[in-house]
Structure 1
Amino acid sequence: MHVRFVFLILLCSALLTSCNSVYDYETAIKNGDIVDLHGNMNNMERLDTFKTNMNLQKKDKVRITRFTIEGDPIFYNLAYNGTDIKLTYDNSKDKHGKKRIRSTNCKSLFIGKSDAGEAYKLEGCYGDHKDLGESFELPIGIIKGLN
């Protein structure tokens, strides 16, 4: 009886721990996300590969994870289907903001001018939340580890 009780406690602890898992900076890097931690960029070469695959009309997807000041992740998922890019914005893990998951479609990804210099941007966005795509901007900033 005692062994069953201990096993039940361990099982409940494991379940509660997995439900509260944190998606932090190290996890995002390990998962291959393009990470924007307050302007410090990691895995930016992955977006270059995504762009190359688009030019070859090869399906691909990539996740960009930006972290809030409090350390919560905001996800921007880009999925290219051979024709269009679907952008999905997901801030469901932001403890301090209104939880929203929105998406739109865009025709292309390009490098253009921004307030910070140059940035990846989307154009030709359409459908619901096209403003989400039109305002998407990922500055080409400091790429960690290439100095």
Structure 2
Amino acid sequence: MGTSSKLQLGTRWRDSSKEVLEWRESFDQLLKSKNGVTAFHTFLKTEFSEENLDFWLACEDFKKTRSKTKLASKANRIFEEFVQSEAPREVNIDHETREITRKNLSGATSACFNEAQAKTRTLMEKDSYPRFLKSASYQDMTKQATSRCISKRSHT
């Protein structure tokens, strides 16, 4: 491995180490990071609660949809998979939010899931996210990240 590729690898490790440590700063930092979302999703699977994150991600993707016909079909698919009562991957939202979301489908816009998405986000931030930060897997990642940051500093 040449010096430049070693340097790139070192930078990439340092960047990812810094990123791992930033996840504990805020839930937003975690959601902004592709690796953070992947690590959080893996953790949620161990708790059998990944549907909240999957719903949130589906809503983020949905908001980028520009075609009106695609918007309507995507909205129905998301509603049937995550929101309606007894949905295969039903998210934990109250009846009122479920009803508001159902009514929003009649004139599907990119904002029709905003309230339900905000509720699931809050639930993850207040409930799952603190458990993720305390989890053995995240603790291991931070130990590795911290030691990489320290060893990088002593080599420079």
Q: TM-score, normalised by structure 1?
A: 0.25
Higher strand share: 1
TM-score, length-normalised on structure 2? 0.24
Higher helix share: 2
Q: Which structure would you say has the larger RCO, counting Cα contacts within 8 Å and 6 or more residues apart?
A: 2
